[in-house]
Chain A
Amino acid sequence: MRLAVDRIKCDGHGQCAELLPELIRLDDWGYPIIARADVPDHLVPMAQRAVAGCPVLALALQQRTG
């Protein structure tokens, strides 16, 4: 599973970084930097919570392509 951010929808709420600090941190202005897009299996449930927690639905979990 891969994390993907819709950069236009993202408004820098920062909840994803709170819910998934292992993979997401915030830059100087509050926008998410995804350190690793590939989500290890044990973090998938947390990633799903982060996706559900985004107030503007900018974060998505996608099937790894290829």
Chain B
Amino acid sequence: MSLVLLTAVVVLGILSALRVQAAGWPRFLTTGLHRNLALMTLVFLALHIVTAVVDPFTHLGWLTAVVPFSSSYRTFWLGLGTIAFELLLAIVVTSLARGYIGHAAWRLVHWLTYASWPIAVIHGIGTGTDTWSAWLLAITVICVVAVVAAIGFRVTAGSRDPLKEPRTTFQAAAQRRETR
């Protein structure tokens, strides 16, 4: 469930950056959903972590939720999950504090989503129980396809800021050249 939500969040984030808009679908909806779903993802993630830790079968301590690779059960795959969780936490916290840290710092941290999402996917695949249902497989595949498609779309579409190119051109001309 967390993965589905996280996937939706990533895709909406990319659509926001691309300023995608349709009749009857204003852009603030895309960004608004992106934010609300991100917060919901954190909630579901918290649930996921709690249920995993209290699961008697896995013998996970609370420490494993914050210190990567500290579990004895599926150390590596679980550690990835911890990392993905912490990255996500940093992203959400900096977004909430955007007014205080400024746009540049926020943007820098936000790029970590491109790390957090694949790590979460791999974590999911690596820690899945030995019996993988077709259902789980289908969901994972759909999520991966959605994000890959969105990234492909973004990479091919290029910057949607209409001023980007003329600004760069002018700045090159207005820059200090080497003086004697």
Contacts and interface: CB of A to CB of B under 8 A. Distances in A.
Nearest to A53: B28
A18 B103 contact: no
Nearest to B163: A11
Interface residues of A, number: 15
A12 B162 contact: yes
B28 A11 contact: no
A56 B162 contact: no
A13 B99 contact: no
Interface in B52-107: 98-99, 102-103
B102 A12 contact: no
B163 A15 contact: no
Interface residues of B, number: 14
A36 interface: no
B16 interface: yes
Contacts of A56: 103
A53 B36 CA distance: 12
Contacts of A53: 28, 31-32
B98 A30 contact: no
A58 to B, nearest CB: 9
A11 B16 CA distance: 13
Given A29-B162, A55-B31, A57-B98, A13 B103 contact: no
B48 interface: no
A57 B161 contact: no
Nearest to A58: B103
B99 A57 contact: yes
Contact of A15 (B28, B99, B103): B28
Given A13-B19, A14-B27, A18-B26, A57 B103 contact: yes
Closest 10 CB pairs of A and B: A18-B28, A18-B26, A15-B28, A57-B103, A11-B161, A19-B28, A56-B103, A53-B28, A15-B27, A18-B27
Interface of B: 16, 19, 26-28, 31-32, 98-99, 102-103, 161-163
28 contacts: A9-B103, A11-B161, A12-B161, A12-B162, A12-B163, A13-B19, A13-B27, A14-B19, A14-B27, A15-B27, A15-B28, A15-B31, A18-B26, A18-B27, A18-B28, A19-B28, A29-B162, A30-B162, A52-B99, A53-B28, A53-B31, A53-B32, A55-B16, A55-B31, A56-B103, A57-B98, A57-B99, A57-B102
